[in-house]
Structure 1
Amino acid sequence: MKTALLAAAMATAVTAATTTAAFAAPEKYVLDASHSQIVFSYNHLGFSTGYGMFSGFEGEIMFDQEDPAKSSVSVSMPESSMLTGWQARFDHFMSPDFFGANDEDVVSFSSTGIEVTGDTTARITGDLTLNGVTKPVVLDAVLNQVGDHPMAGKPWAGFSATTTLMRSDFNLGKFAPYISDEVAVELSVEAMKAE
């Protein structure tokens, strides 16, 4: 009798665990635009390092904390939202030498796969659209922290990532190699669990 009860209890537990796993799914987090930045840098003629930034952009992360490989991310921002710190430089970047951008041109990234590489690290592969060209890129990502936000009182997550792009891959290679074709990119984002 005890054996039958134990077997029944184990079967119930296995069924419950299987059902819970079957219904577990990534949860939607939306980017906190006020605390999300993308900073890029490039070598200028060997004399200096130039910097630029995107901030205030939109996006979402479908975050599976138990199985991060099942997560996904997508972000987008107008090319014209780029910050350079000097109006003349911004105007040149938006000229036909580089972007020739208008308000409808966007930079976007949509993940296509995530390879977990450690307890808090992963390689995120995705499609980057920049200057009207879409290419695959890989982000080396780190989960900074997950937990309740001390002021907002809701689940929050922070991530950082790096990658290197070649300007010429996106038809932005003007003046290379004098201005480096390689552009280093650093991302730091916060995201809040969607209501």
Structure 2
Amino acid sequence: MLSRLFLLFPLLAASQTIHAHHAFAADYEAGKAGNVEGTITEIIYKNPHARYYIEVDSAGGGKEIWDLQTMNLMMLGRVGWTKDTLKVGDKISVDGILGRNNTKRMSINVVTHEDGRVISPQRGIAESNADLNARTSLEADTPRGEFISLAANISPGDYELEDNHAYLGFSYDHMGLSNPQLQFTEFDATLSLDGNNMANSRVDIAVNAASIVAAVPEFEARLRGEEFLNVEQHPEISFVSTGYSETSDTTGTLQGDLTIAGITKPATLTVSIHAAAMNQLNKREMIGFAANGTISRSAYGMSDFADWVADDLELNIQVEFQKARESKTEAGR
């Protein structure tokens, strides 16, 4: 299948679309879960993330204030969480990830309201505690990676490319004067996602080499010829992932085998996960990635015009995936 090279990163940052993940590792103890119960005393409902302060009974018999944080407003809105979901005076029980150094802070995973509502910033409002308990039990038995990936917000399984929001391009240095931008317009990819352990995720991509687009038609024809892509002999560019290493809950490095013009070489991409949530328009789970990397064109037999064109090609990939209508991973269970 023609795939969007950028899918590579799926294994897998806009600050407005991320759950303040740039600071998560510094502020919270990944894997250290806790629970607090108390009454909401203050709400700050604005980006970069919503924040709730609750008064909790301390072990010494007094009162203490806990600072509870969750996602940005756009992500919350996607799962039906609004400024009116929780109010000052509400009594809640909160499960989440505790702050580092015994600070009275928590990143919210699940809120249980005194009226019986079970609310998750990742999955919205559950119908009952039984539903939550069943899911929590299942997730507790799932081996996790080193980090709690943002991709864990959505269910594991097969995801397909969202063609209207997918881009694969590259640039190069031209004599130090400019950095022309080129792109491929036809590609496809398959993503098997395991957000609980991203090392188990896999992406395969196929690109129609002849779909390369440049500003000058004559240049495009030359790129398709024997000097460069040689599309008649090698019509497809492919990427097969071989591994993914997390560097944080939203970033990682994707390793794989990249084949261009019949030559296969290992390639590494730096991946950023923008968001992972339910799309409230079509009710399908979605995930968005960016990936960047550098490859040597001469390593793939394209060494002509070295005096004018740099050897390094800078890859730039932006892509969105949505849950397949029937996940092959789930169907085989």
Q: TM-score, normalised by structure 2?
A: 0.51
* Alignment-derived partner of residue 215 in structure 2: 85
Distance in 1 between residues matched to 2:195 and 2:238, nearest whole Å = 24
> What amino acid sits opposite 1:133 in the alignment?
I
Distance in 1 between residues matched to 2:234 and 2:305, nearest whole Å = 26
More helix by share: 1
Distance in 2 between residues matched to 1:77 and 1:65, nearest whole Å = 25
Number of aligned residues? 179
Residue 29 (structure 1) aligned with residue 159 (structure 2): yes
> What amino acid sits opposite 1:88 in the alignment?
E
Q: Which of 128, 144, 149 does residue 274 from structure 2 map onto? A: 144
Distance in 2 between residues matched to 1:74 and 1:123, nearest whole Å = 16
Q: 1:51 to 1:188 in 2, by over 3 A?
A: same
Distance in 2 between residues matched to 1:184 and 1:161, nearest whole Å = 11
- Contact between 1:159 and 1:188, CA under 8 Å: does it hold in 2? yes
Q: Which of 82, 94, 101 does residue 231 from structure 2 map onto? A: 101
Residue 188 (structure 1) aligned with residue 309 (structure 2): no
> What amino acid sits opposite 1:114 in the alignment?
Y
Distance in 2 between residues matched to 1:131 and 1:29, nearest whole Å = 28
* Alignment-derived partner of residue 120 in structure 1: 250
Q: Deviations over 1:47-78 (max 9, x none)?
A: 22211012342101111111112111111111
Could you say what secondary structure the match of 1:21 adopts?
coil
Distance in 2 between residues matched to 1:98 and 1:151, nearest whole Å = 43
Q: Report the more deviating stretch, 184-193 or 28-37.
A: 28-37
- The correspondence of residues 21-60 of structure 1 with structure 2, limited to 5 A, is 21=142, 26-60=156-190
Distance in 1 between residues matched to 2:169 and 2:280, nearest whole Å = 26
* Alignment-derived partner of residue 17 in structure 2: none
> What amino acid sits opposite 2:308 in the alignment?
Y
Residue 153 (structure 1) aligned with residue 286 (structure 2): no
Distance in 1 between residues matched to 2:232 and 2:141, nearest whole Å = 48
- Contact between 1:165 and 1:183, CA under 8 Å: does it hold in 2? yes
Could you say what secondary structure the match of 1:49 adopts?
coil
Distance in 1 between residues matched to 2:139 and 2:249, nearest whole Å = 24
1:150 deviates by 3.3
Distance in 2 between residues matched to 1:141 and 1:18, nearest whole Å = 25
Structure 1 runs (4+) deviating above 4 angstroms are 16-20
Could you say what secondary structure the match of 1:89 adopts?
helix
**Structure with bigger gyration radius:** 2
Q: 1:126 to 1:156 in 2, by over 3 A?
A: same
> What amino acid sits opposite 1:28 in the alignment?
D
